[in-house]
């Protein structure tokens, strides 16, 4: 299915606006297969919107998104999504296993209920994120890091080729962060493409091999080694990034 040098994600001339204000302006972005990419930029730079536009969750004013050369609708089976943890109500009356099983709903389609096999897949995913002991735990009783792991497990169950994750490190402790990074790098080793909205500039060079600077416009995008430069940081964040010079 994969053409040798096909792009995992190809965004062309993407513009998204809420009312009159542009949130994303004329974005071009090529993501090669098998990279672990960080999208960085200040608050309000449109990072979440970019993810949602790629997933077809917000309607762009202009532009085009392709996943392995086809529109998202044709490729959703190979795309996994981790929304922001804060986007759902964790007081919802359900347990960990049930949330993870939701990752199978796409493959199941309409009406059909998850069965034994789906359960097993969900258990495997929970093991991968180290949450197998919490299968029957109420989701309201999870810590922030555990909630994040549950969302990751749900995406793993999707068994996707391309993963889009919105701030998977938000509000997690150091141990969980380490575990998540290991998991993401494992996905990359297995040839998956992982796009992550990221906030912590200090860890970009350690965790990722590809980086996209975003601030309404795409400032720069490429391998971390060439792209994660003071010039790009300054252009993306303005003057607010002086402390980075010490790196």
Partner 1 sequence: MENLHFLTRFDYTLIIVALGAALLGTVSGALGTYAVLRRQSLLGDAISHAALPGIVIAFMLTGSKTPLILVLGAAIAGWLGTLIILSIVRLTRIKYDSAFSLVLSTFFGFGLVLLTQIQRNGDANQAGLDDFIFGQAATMLKRDVLTIGILGGFALVIMLILWKELKLLVFDEGFAASIGFPTRVLDILLTSLFVIAIVIGLQAVGAVLMSAMLVAPAVAARQWTDKISLMVLLAACFGALAGVSGTFISSIAVGIPTGPTIILCATVIVGFSIAFAPNRGLLWNSIRQHRNRRSLKIATAKLIGAAATKNQIKNDTRPS
CB of 67 to partner 1, least distance (A): 12
Instruction: List, in order, residues 6 or more apart from 122 with CB less than 8 Å away.
Output: 97, 100, 101, 103, 104, 114, 153, 157
Give least dist CB 20 to partner 1, A. 12
Of 185, 137, 194, 129, nearest in space to 160 by CA: 194
State which residue, 111 or 174, has the beta carbon closest to partner 1. 111
Q: Which is nearer to partner 1, 38 or 99 (CB)?
A: 99
Closer CB to partner 1, 48 or 232, in the complex: 48
In the complex with partner 1, the residue whose CB is nearer, 81 or 169, is 81
**Separation of alpha carbons 152 and 180, rounded Å:** 8
Question: Nearer Cβ to partner 1, position 41 or 83?
Answer: 83
Which phi and psi angles does 48 have, rounded to 5°?
A: -65, -40
Residues that bind partner 1 (CB under 8 A): 52, 55-57, 73, 76, 79, 81, 83, 87-89, 92-95, 99, 102, 105-106, 108, 110-111, 113-114, 138, 140, 154, 158
Query: Closest distance between partner 1 and the C-beta of residue 190, in Å?
Result: 21
- Minimum CB separation of residue 94 from partner 1 in Å reads 6
Which residue in the block uniquely carries the two structure tokens 């981790």?
Answer: 82
Structure tokens at 247: 């790196």
**Alpha-carbon radius of gyration of the chain:** 18
If you search the block for the tokens 């003071």, which residue do you land on? 230
């Amino acid at each position: 299915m994969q053409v040798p040098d096909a792009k995992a994600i190809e965004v062309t001339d993407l513009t998204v606006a809420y009312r009159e204000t542009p949130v994303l302006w004329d974005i071009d972005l090529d993501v090669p297969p098998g990279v672990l990419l960080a999208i960085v930029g200040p608050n309000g730079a449109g990072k979440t919107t970019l993810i949602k536009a790629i997933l077809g969750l917000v309607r762009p004013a202009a532009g085009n998104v392709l996943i392995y050369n086809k529109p998202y609708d044709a490729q959703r089976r190979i795309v996994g999504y981790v929304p922001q943890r804060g986007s759902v109500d964790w007081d919802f009356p359900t347990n960990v296993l049930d949330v993870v099983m939701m990752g199978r709903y796409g493959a199941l389609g309409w009406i059909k209920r998850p069965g034994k096999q789906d359960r097993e897949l969900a258990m495997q995913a929970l093991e991968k994120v180290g949450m197998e002991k919490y299968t029957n735990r109420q989701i309201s009783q999870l810590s922030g890091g555990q909630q994040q792991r549950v969302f990751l497990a749900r995406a793993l169950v999707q068994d996707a080729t391309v993963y889009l994750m919105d701030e998977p490190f938000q509000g997690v402790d150091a141990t969980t962060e380490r575990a998540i990074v290991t998991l993401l790098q494992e996905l990359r080793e297995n040839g998956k493409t992982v796009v992550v909205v990221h906030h912590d500039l200090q860890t970009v060079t350690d965790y990722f091999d590809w980086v996209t600077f975003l601030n309404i416009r795409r400032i720069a995008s490429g391998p971390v080694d060439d792209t994660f430069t003071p010039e790009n940081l300054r252009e993306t964040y303005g003057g607010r990034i002086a402390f980075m010079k010490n790196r």
